[in-house]
Amino acid sequence: MTTVDVPPTAEAQTPAPLPRRKRNGIRSWFANLPWPARTGILVAVVAAAYLLPYTADVPVIGPQIITTGTDWRTTLFTVSYYILLSLGLNVVVGYAGLLDLGYVGFFAVGAYTVSLLSSPDSLWHTHWAWLETIPVAVAIAMLSGLILGWPTLRLRGDYLAIVTLGFAELIKIIATSTPGFLRGDTGFTRIPAPPGHHADGTPLFGVRDSTPYYWVGLTLVIVVIFAIRNLDRSRVGRSWLAIREDEEAAEVMGVRTVKFKLWAFAIGAFVGGLGGVMFAGFQGFVNSNTFVLQFSILVLAGVVMGGSGNIAGAILGGALIAYIPERLRGVTDPISHTDLFQWRFVMFGLVIILVMIFRPQGLIPSRRRAMELRDRRKEAAPE
């Protein structure tokens, strides 16, 4: 945190410019690198991400990072779909500024569509392969987002939060009350895994090694990052930004606010559905207990903690909420001699409170977001 003294130019002498803090040192350093260096670093980071399943083989640091109570590669897969969900929710919450409290609903729609189309337990007996279910599942998730958003996004304020909360609960209730259709907590079993075989004939996506799942998850994460980044830099992103900062002003600039909010919501639903598809393909089993409210709140906490409105922030947030509890599993607390995993929600609560006090804009804040928060504070408590 250094402040650079600017030589007194004509511009610097104009009164009351706010002190410019160089808070994002790494980011501006990266942006100022020549493009070959930037590409090189990106490639290295991506390669490192793909090699994460072999962390245990790294001397000294490796064993500290990996999870001891659960399979490290499975944890990595979990991290990958949590990141996916954070990225999706970040479009809704971080970009468009809409509060979605029932994001797990779209995850559920994705997972249930896969189950209905592929599981032998399904009433439909369609027995589709996992791959075939993907387009249908994400399309239905997106459609459910549109149907939910269409009436509610015309209203301003917090209606959306309530409606989304209700939506997630509704799906859970439908699931538990239709033992024939969505099968309650009996659930769907034998959901097929992604295709592919090893040379020796054993399935590529098996129970023994989760690495292929993680790689698929990571690849999807990368694709989603690029898609969202391009959207953010387009006219769509500019419209979202305007809506988030001042919806009414955006409207009088000529932004079709309802349309763009609906888009953000549908894209969020799409990515959420994709997360559900991955989850179903990995787990092979889906029941109503998978989709608890806690899950929505957790992902939202991840987005806010990481720094909403910012892709890097969403990635960090999503990774932390998935990784920390798994890392704590199997670690014994020296005082009470219990598994630290049981304290995970207490720790989350503490971490979130600390972040909100010391870094309300999130761990990796977006510059604009910080400015908006300052502006809101002025509104809430005028000087």
Partner 1 sequence: MLLEIDNITLLYGRIQALHGISLQVDEGEIVALIGANGAGKSTTMRAVSGLRPIASGQIRFAGQDITNMRADLRVIRGISQAPEGRGIFPGMTVQENLDMGAYTRRDRAGIQADLKRVFELFPRLSERRKQAGGTLSGGEQQMLAVGRALMSRPKLMLLDEPSMGLAPMLIQQIFSIITEINQQGTTILLVEQNAQQALSRAHRAYVLETGRIVKSGTGEELLRDSSVKDAYLGVA
- Per CB under 8 A, residues contacting partner 1 are 11, 14, 16-18, 238-239, 241-242, 245-246, 248-256, 367-372, 374-375
AA letter at 283? Q
Q: Indicate the residue among 169 and 251 with the shorter CB distance to partner 1.
A: 251
Q: Indicate the residue among 2 and 9 with the shorter CB distance to partner 1.
A: 9
Q: How many CA atoms lie within 13 A of 319 on its CB side?
A: 14
Residue 302 token pair: 């991840």
Residue 266 token pair: 């549908």
**Whether the Cβ atoms of residue 131 and residue 205 lie closer than 8 Å to each other:** no
From CA 268, how far away is CA 184, in angstroms rounded?
26
What DSSP state is assigned to residue 338? Answer: S
Smallest distance from partner 1 to CB 375, Å: 4
Q: Indicate the residue among 309 and 325 with the shorter CB distance to partner 1.
A: 309
Q: How many CA atoms lie within 13 A of 2 on its CB side?
A: 5
From CA 83, how far away is CA 309, in angstroms rounded?
14
**Whether the Cβ atoms of residue 318 and residue 306 lie closer than 8 Å to each other:** yes
Is 36 strand, coil or helix? helix
Q: Indicate the residue among 110 and 313 with the shorter CB distance to partner 1.
A: 313
Smallest distance from partner 1 to CB 378, Å: 8
Q: Which residues contact 119 (CB under 8 A, 6 or more apart)?
A: 188, 189, 190, 191, 286
Smallest distance from partner 1 to CB 136, Å: 33
Q: How many residues does the chain have?
A: 383
Q: Indicate the residue among 14 and 200 with the shorter CB distance to partner 1.
A: 14
Q: Indicate the residue among 127 and 367 with the shorter CB distance to partner 1.
A: 367
Smallest distance from partner 1 to CB 185, Å: 44
Smallest distance from partner 1 to CB 210, Å: 40
Q: Indicate the residue among 245 and 339 with the shorter CB distance to partner 1.
A: 245
Of the candidates 238, 230, 240, 245, which has an alpha carbon nearest to the alpha carbon of residue 263? 240
Smallest distance from partner 1 to CB 244, Å: 8
Owner of token pair 């958003």: 149
Smallest distance from partner 1 to CB 247, Å: 10
Q: Indicate the residue among 19 and 36 with the shorter CB distance to partner 1.
A: 19
Smallest distance from partner 1 to CB 18, Å: 5
Q: What is the DSSP string of 209-269?
A: --HHHHHHHHHHHHHHHHHHHHHHTSHHHHHHHHHHH-HHHHHHHT--HHHHHHHHHHHHH
